[in-house]
């Protein structure tokens, strides 16, 4: 991602200090801060508290967390180290339930550990190298998705974007916002309507900040405005990301995505979900089986106006972090294998065999 003229990653391993460094996304854009973590439990807490967020970034954090767990362990043998890694993997997997990239990264690290035949110290270095490779892969995958997705964007398009799917949601570049960024860098004149994305305002805080870094024109809108803009003919594309995708093509994404896709469908506007293939959970047949995280109601109740809390004393709230958009409302998946159209499962299988 870019901060001014500087290029940096959302998450990285600092070899000199032997710590994991993450941009603290809770305090952007008012403050830019790099947090450091020297224990896998701290990494898990960073995922839970949304210091780091976005499915691909969470996957990279889990991989780095597993590498850190290897260095946290005092195990002298490979077998003892693997036992400690399994404990760490369980701990990390409980950080957030919906994003499948977390479990994917933990599984990949554990598989590598179990297949490795060297010493415990050699295994530590092996896992560190793999975690860095996973981070590098994420950047390359994002750029491939962006190139495929940008082909769908036409000069003059006005695009509705939900939540934050840019460099901050990945190791670098981004998924859905990466598509928009690529189209902009190709010289296409585009405009983005940025959903605020309540209650944590990832659109208003993070996406708007990223678009400003790239010089992409945008307007912030309330989440409930998108349908009105579509009805007036002011929108040509809808693009959002994904945190978990069922095998049939149902997409779990930030709460509000389902309503956005419904409005797009009713107005004949294509709605695309952008994600790496690692976000597809082949073990889940349909979206109803995806576990949906429900967060603290205080995120909703803390709403204030002019510094004064607006909710009445004793009010309660429900705070679902994600919803599921049925596959029938999705025009296509933008992936590193290209744009995949319905029927999703059959066409994904064909793409993977190609």
**Digit-coded pLDDT (tens) for 269-291:** 999 999 999 999 999 999 999 99
pLDDT in tens, 47-73: 999 999 999 999 999 999 999 999 999
Q: What is the CATH number of the domain that holds 294?
A: 3.40.50.10470
pLDDT per position as a tens digit, 105-139? 999 999 999 999 999 999 999 999 999 999 999 99
222 and 254 in a single domain? The answer is yes
**Domain assignment of residue 347, yes or no:** yes
User: How many other β-carbons are positioned within 10 Å of the β-carbon of residue 285?
Assistant: 13
**pLDDT at res. 86:** 98
> What confidence tier does 5 reach under pLDDT thresholds 50, 70, 90?
low
Q: Which of 124, 142, 160 is the last residue of a domain?
A: 142
| 114 located within any domain | yes
- Residue 147 is assigned to a structural domain of this protein: no
Long-range contacts from 259-264, C-beta under 8 angstroms, 24+ separation: 259/223, 259/226, 259/227, 259/323, 260/160, 260/162, 260/195, 260/226, 261/325, 261/329, 261/330, 262/329, 263/226, 263/227, 263/230, 263/231, 264/160, 264/230, 264/235, 264/238, 264/329
* Whether residue 334 sits in one domain with residue 215: yes
**Residue 308 within any structural domain of the chain:** yes
Pair 156, 200 in one domain: yes
Residues 106 and 217 in one domain: no
130 and 157 within one domain: no
pLDDT, one tens digit per residue, over 237-272 is 999 999 999 999 999 999 999 999 999 999 999 999
Question: Model pTM?
Answer: 0.91
Domain boundary, last residue among 123, 142, 161: 142
Is the domain of 77 the same as that of 169?
no
Domain-embedded: residue 51: yes
What is the number of structural domains in the chain? 2
- Which CATH number covers residue 67? 1.20.120.420
Q: Report the share of the chain in percent with pLDDT over 90.
A: 92
Do 87 and 158 belong to one domain? no
Range of the domain at 304: 152-353
Question: Are both 264 and 313 inside the same structural domain?
Answer: yes
**Annotated catalytic sites, by residue?**
243
User: What is the pLDDT, as a whole number, of residue 306?
Assistant: 75
């Amino acid at each position: 991602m870019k901060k001014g003229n500087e290029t940096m990653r959302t998450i990285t391993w600092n070899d000199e200090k032997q710590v994991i460094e993450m941009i603290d996304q809770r305090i952007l854009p008012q403050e830019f801060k790099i947090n450091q973590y020297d224990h896998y439990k701290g990494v898990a807490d960073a995922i839970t508290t949304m210091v780091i967020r976005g499915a691909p970034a969470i996957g990279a954090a889990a991989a780095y967390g597993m590498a850190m767990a290897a260095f946290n362990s005092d195990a002298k043998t490979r077998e003892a180290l693997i036992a400690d890694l399994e404990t760490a993997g369980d701990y990390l997997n409980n950080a957030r339930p919906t994003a499948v990239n977390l479990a994917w990264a933990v599984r990949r690290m554990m598989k590598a550990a179990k297949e490795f035949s060297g010493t415990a110290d050699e295994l530590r270095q092996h896992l560190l190298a793999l975690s860095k490779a996973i981070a590098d892969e994420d950047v390359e995958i994002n750029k491939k998705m962006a190139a495929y997705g940008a082909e769908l964007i036409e000069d003059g398009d006005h695009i509705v974007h939900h939540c934050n799917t840019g460099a901050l949601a990945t190791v670098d570049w981004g998924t859905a916002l990466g598509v928009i960024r690529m189209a902009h860098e190709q010289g296409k004149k585009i405009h983005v309507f940025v959903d605020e994305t309540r209650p944590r305002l990832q659109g208003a805080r993070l996406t708007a900040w990223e678009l400003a870094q790239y010089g992409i024109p945008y307007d912030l809108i309330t989440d409930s405005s998108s349908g009105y803009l579509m009805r007036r003919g002011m929108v040509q594309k809808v693009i959002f990301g994904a945190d978990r995708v069922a095998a049939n093509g149902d997409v779990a994404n930030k709460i509000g995505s389902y309503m956005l896709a419904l409005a797009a469908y009713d107005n004949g506007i294509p709605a695309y979900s952008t994600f790496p293939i690692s976000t597809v959970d082949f073990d889940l047949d349909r979206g109803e089986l995806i576990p949906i995280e429900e967060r603290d109601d205080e995120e909703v109740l803390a709403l204030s106006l002019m510094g004064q809390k607006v909710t009445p004393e004793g009010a309660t709230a429900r705070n679902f972090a994600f919803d599921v958009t049925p596959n029938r409302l999705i025009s296509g998946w933008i992936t590193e294998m290209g744009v995949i159209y319905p029927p999703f499962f059959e066409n994904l299988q064909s793409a993977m065999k190609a």
